[in-house]
Amino acid sequence: MTTLHWLETPCRQGVTCGVPWPRGTVVADSTFALADGTALQSWVTATWPDGSVKWSAHAIGPAAHPAGSYDLVPNQRPSAPDDPVEVNTTDDEIRVSTGEITWVLRKPQLIASIRYGEREVSRNVRLVSLRQDAPDEDGSRDRQETTATTHRIVVEQDGPVRAVVRLEGRHGDWLPYTVRLYFYAGATDVRIVHSFVWDGDPDRDFLAGLGLSADVPLSDEPHDRHVRLAGPAGFLTEAVRGLTGLRRDPGESVRRAQVAGRPVGEIGNREVSERLHLIPQWNDYTLDQSSADGFTLRKRTGPGQAWVTIPAGTRSPGYGYVGGVSGGLGFGLRDFWKLHPTRLDIRGAATDAATATVWMWSPSAPAMDLRYWHDGMDQDSFAEQLEGLEITYEDYEPGFGNAHGIARTHELTLRAHDTTPTAADLAEHGELLNSPGLLTASPARLLEAGVFGSWDLPDSDHQDIEGRLNFLFQYYVSQREQRRWYGFWDYGDVMHTYDADRHTWRYDVGGYAWDNSELSPDLWLWYQYLRTGRADVFRFAEAMTRHTGEVDVHHLGRWKGLGSRHNVQHWGCSCKQLRISSAIYRRFYYYLTADERTGDLLDELADAENTFLAVDPLRKVRTDVYTPDPQALSVGLGVDWGALAAAWLTRWERYGDERARARLMGTMADIAALPYGFLTGQALLDLSTGRFGTGRKAVSVSHLSAVFGLPEICSELIDLDLDVPGFEKAWLDYCRLYLAPAEQQVAELGHALTGISLVQAHSRLAAYAAARTGDVGLAELAWRKFFLDEGDQLNRNALQREPAWRTTAIDGALMPVDEAPFVSTNDAAQYGLAAIQNLALVREHRPDHRPDRGATAWRSPVDKS
pLDDT of residue 442 exceeding 60, the answer is yes
| Res 857 pLDDT > 50 | no
What 3-state class would DSSP assign to 626?
A: coil
Contacts of 24 (CB under 8 A, 6+ apart): 48, 50, 52
- Asked if residues 328 and 420 have their Cβ atoms less than 8 Å apart, the reply is yes
CB of 203 closer than 8 Å to CB of 224: no
- Bridge partner list, 43: 57
Lowest mean per-residue pLDDT among 176-185, 281-290, 557-566, 795-804: 795-804
Average confidence (pLDDT) over 254-275: 97
| pLDDT tens per residue, range 375-414 | 999 999 999 999 999 999 999 999 999 999 999 999 999 9
Taking only the tens place, the pLDDT of each residue in 703-724 is 999 999 999 999 999 999 999 9
Average pLDDT over residues 749-758: 94
Average pLDDT (537-552) is 98
The whole-angstrom separation of Cα 91 and Cα 106 is: 10
CA separation for the pair 792, 802 (Å, rounded): 17
Q: Which residues of 785-812 are buried (b: 16+ CB within 10 A; e: fewer)?
A: bbbebeebbbbebbeeeebebebeebee
State the Cα–Cα distance between residues 430 and 407, nearest whole angstrom.
Answer: 26
Looking at the predicted structure, is the pLDDT value of residue 863 above 50?
A: no
| 504-530 average pLDDT score | 98
- Given a contact cutoff of 8 angstroms between Cβ atoms, the answer to whether 599 and 545 are in contact is no
Average pLDDT rounded to a whole number, residues 798-820: 79
User: Does 180 have pLDDT greater than 60?
Assistant: yes
Report the C-alpha gap between 680 and 636 in whole angstroms: 9
DSSP letters of 274-300? TTGGGS----EEEEEEEETTEEEEEEE
Interstrand relation of 498-499 and 319-324 (parallel, antiparallel or unpaired): unpaired
pLDDT of residue 862: 31
Mapping DSSP onto H, E and C, the string for 534-598 reads: CHHHHHHHHHHHHHHHHCCECCCCCCCCCEECCECCCCCCCCEEHHHHCHHHCHHHHHHHCCHHH
DSSP one-letter string for 628-651? --TTSEEEETTHHHHHHHHHHHHH
- C-alpha to C-alpha distance for 547 and 695, rounded to whole angstroms: 40
What pLDDT is stored for residue 796 in this prediction?
55
Evaluate if residue 217 carries a pLDDT over 70. Answer: yes
How far apart (Å, rounded) are the C-alpha atoms in residues 112 and 69? 37
Q: pLDDT tens-digit profile of 561-573?
A: 999 999 999 999 9
Share of the chain above pLDDT 90, in %: 92
Pick from 439, 615, 599: nearest CA to 44: 599
Express each pLDDT in 293-339 by its tens digit.
Answer: 999 999 999 999 999 999 999 999 999 999 999 999 999 999 999 99
Residue 855 in this model has a pLDDT that exceeds 80: no
How far apart are alpha carbons 433 and 335 in whole angstroms? 8
pLDDT at 602 over 70: yes
* pLDDT at residue 49 is higher than 80: yes
With cut-offs at 50, 70 and 90, classify the pLDDT of residue 802: very low
Read off the amino acid at residue 502: R
Q: What is the pLDDT of residue 622?
A: 86
What does the pLDDT read at residue 856? 36
Kindly report the CA angle at 513 between 829 and 592, in degrees rounded to 5?
A: 45
The per-residue pLDDT for 795 is: 58
- Listed by start position, the domains of the chain span 2-74, 94-241+281-435, 243-279, 446-550+758-865, 551-757
Q: How far is CA 362 from CA 19, 173, 288, 730, in A?
A: 38, 21, 7, 54
Residues composing the chain? 865
pLDDT at 279 over 60: yes
Tens-digit pLDDT profile for residues 632-688: 999 999 999 999 999 999 999 999 999 999 999 999 999 999 999 999 999 999 999
* Better-predicted residue by pLDDT, 141 or 820: 820
φ and ψ of 97, to 5 deg: -115, 130
Number of neighbouring beta carbons within 10 Å of residue 149:
16
Mean pLDDT, rounded, of the chain: 94
- Does residue 689 surpass a pLDDT of 60? yes
Task: Report the alpha-carbon distance of residue 270 to residue 93 in Å, rounded.
Answer: 50
94-241+281-435 is classed CATH 2.70.98:
yes
pTM across the whole model: 0.96
Residue 861 has pLDDT above 60, yes or no: no
Query: Distance between CA atoms of 649 and 622, rounded to whole angstroms?
Result: 30
Measured CA to CA in angstroms, residue 26 lies from 9, 49, 447, 486, 651 at distances of: 29, 13, 17, 42, 20
